Chains A and B, each alone.
Chain A
Amino acid sequence: MSAAAAPQPALSTGPGPIAWAGIFAATCLLLVALNHILWLVIPALLALILTYALDPPVRRLMYAGVGREGAAALATSAFLVVLMVLTLILIAWAGARAEDWQAGVERYLRGGAVLLERTLAALEERWPGLARAGLAAGVTTWINEYANTFVERQVQPLAVSILAWLPAALLGPFFAFFFLRDGRRFHGFLVRAVPNAYFEKTLDLLHEMHSTGRSYFTGLMQLTVLDTLALGLGLWLLGLPGAWLLGLIAAVLAWVPYVGSIAGCFLVVLVAATDFPDTPTMAYWSIILFILVRLLDDFVFLPATVGKHLNLHPLVSVLMLFVGGAVAGVPGLALVLPLLGVATVVGTALSEIITDRRLRARHVYAQRLRADQAAADLG
């Protein structure tokens, strides 16, 4: 073969419009499918996070001479023991305060209702048209009706669904043990099925998928810490009691985009309205603080943590959040970005592999060599 005729591997140009359409379609289909098996998706996600957290100690143990199986069993058992101890402490602590909490929830809800009534009354005073429309009276009636049936309509189903989900959540550590023990073997098993020509690209694809998932959850944890610090500091400066705890709860709620942020803001406003009943400006300042932290989140924290790891265009992220919410509700909002990240990695790699004629030619040649070898003694 002459030097001029020597084939060169194709240069990567990134996915084209068809590949991108496939990526978006695959993300939507995955959302629909996963929304139907949430009982399995949630423990699998918990297991994944746990696997990322326990992987370093497992490696340490292996380095010290323990086999992978023993290391996985030790690390998972240690986690379960710590979890059980913490759960027992929490149950004992919560049991002693259950009545206080019930009274506290009712008190804070009442405080929120009073703030709303006062705000509406002030609005009616300023704009008489609102008073003629009976805005305050209508909203107050609706709130009273809602509050009367709140326990039956919201609290009981929530308690029942938590009890129903608990066994599924317990699958998390169980899955994590097998991920830790057999994850590498499963990876090898998958890779062995790939022909030699596509082998290196497949290794890279699996690595990218793994690191995208890992980076997303790492980014989410970093974002939670940053949100907790920003909200906690702001609420502490405002003088709200339990500022750092409220900041942490609001930051965890923000794992579900938009809906979670609104829920966190609502919680803080309730606390502000109840603990400072004569200072409604405290509740308004809390809302302003949430809006500021939201802006900080969208333009500074999110691109620097989760967005940086997923490498998604901000416009695509926002549009896909709406699509995720429309396709699969609240779970869709929470799952759409990591799914899109993984689908982008897979779609990009697959389009590169499929459109690389040189790799296909090498694969066909290798198949021919294997066929010749198999038929060598057949004459």
Chain B
Amino acid sequence: MLGFLRRTEGGQLEDLRALELFADLSVGELKIVQGLLHDRQYLAGEVVFDEGEQGYALYIVRTGRVLICRQGRPESAIAQVGPGNFFGELALLDSAPRTAQARALEPCQLAVFFGSDFLALLETEAKLSNKILLRFARHLGARLRSTVAGQSAEQHL
């Protein structure tokens, strides 16, 4: 009872900095972000979210691996996301439906960043949110490049 009153702040800030999205943040900024993240545990095979479902949050993998696939077709893998990486990032930009299903491939610990918390951060902490946005933009750029490279390889074949 009242376990929420116990202090949880400790050596978790460095773990947080190890995540791709928060690599550029200072200690003060990490403390703010840490207060906004929610930790969730998923078992192997458990659905994190469905394709077509309204997206509200971005997921960061702390441990384990997550499969991104077409709805109900785990064999049609789009990507696998491992520790330090994130998925469901478009929910930070809008609440559009998810474009794929996410399933835990093995027992996972995920940190969840709620989209509205990020939007509030954009309004109040411009410097902090710009650092996250820059990482985010680089991630999207890399994904776009790899998609284009994949398409041109297919055309070449």
A residues apposed to B, CB below 8 Å: 1, 3, 5-9, 12, 56, 59, 62-65, 67-68, 182, 184-186, 188-189, 191-192, 196-197, 199-201, 203-204, 207, 211, 358, 362, 365-366, 369-370, 373
Contact = CB atoms under 8 A, between A and B. Distances in A.
Contacts of A362: 46-47, 50
Contact of A196 (B46, B117, B124): B46
A3 B73 contact: yes
Given A1-B73, A67-B31, A362-B50, 6 more contacts: A5-B72, A6-B71, A7-B71, A188-B38, A203-B56, A369-B44
Interface of B: 3-5, 8-9, 27-29, 31-32, 35-36, 38, 40, 42-57, 70-73, 112, 114, 116-117, 124-125, 128
B75 to A, nearest CB: 9
B49 A369 contact: no
A216 B4 CA distance: 28
Contacts of A185: 4-5, 8
Contacts of B47: 197, 362, 365-366
Nearest to B127: A63
B3 A196 contact: no
A167 B72 CA distance: 60
28 contacts: A1-B72, A1-B73, A3-B70, A6-B70, A7-B50, A59-B32, A59-B125, A62-B32, A63-B28, A63-B125, A63-B128, A67-B31, A184-B36, A191-B38, A192-B38, A196-B48, A199-B38, A199-B112, A201-B56, A203-B56, A203-B112, A204-B116, A207-B114, A207-B117, A211-B116, A369-B43, A369-B45, A370-B43
A207 B50 CA distance: 21
B32 A63 contact: yes
Contact of B53 (A1, A3, A6, A9): A9
Nearest to A184: B35
A362 to B, nearest CB: 5
Nearest to B49: A200
Contacts of B3: 189
Contacts of A358: 50, 53
Q: Is chain A's binding surface mostly helix, strand, loop or mixed?
A: helix
A36 B139 CA distance: 55
A1 B76 CA distance: 11
B43 A6 contact: no
A233 B8 CA distance: 54
Nearest to B2: A189
Contacts of B54: 12
Contacts of B9: 67
A365 B46 contact: yes
A3 B73 CA distance: 7
A1 B5 CA distance: 45
A207 B73 contact: no
Contacts of B32: 59, 62-63
B38 A64 contact: no
Contact of B28 (A64, A186, A189, A200): A64
A8 B97 CA distance: 11
Contact of A9 (B27, B52, B112, B125): B52
A204 B53 CA distance: 13
Nearest to A181: B5
A26 B4 CA distance: 28
8 A-B pairs closest in CB distance: A6-B72, A189-B4, A9-B53, A6-B71, A185-B4, A369-B43, A200-B56, A65-B28
A197 to B, nearest CB: 8
A65 B38 CA distance: 22
Nearest to B8: A185
A247 B48 CA distance: 55
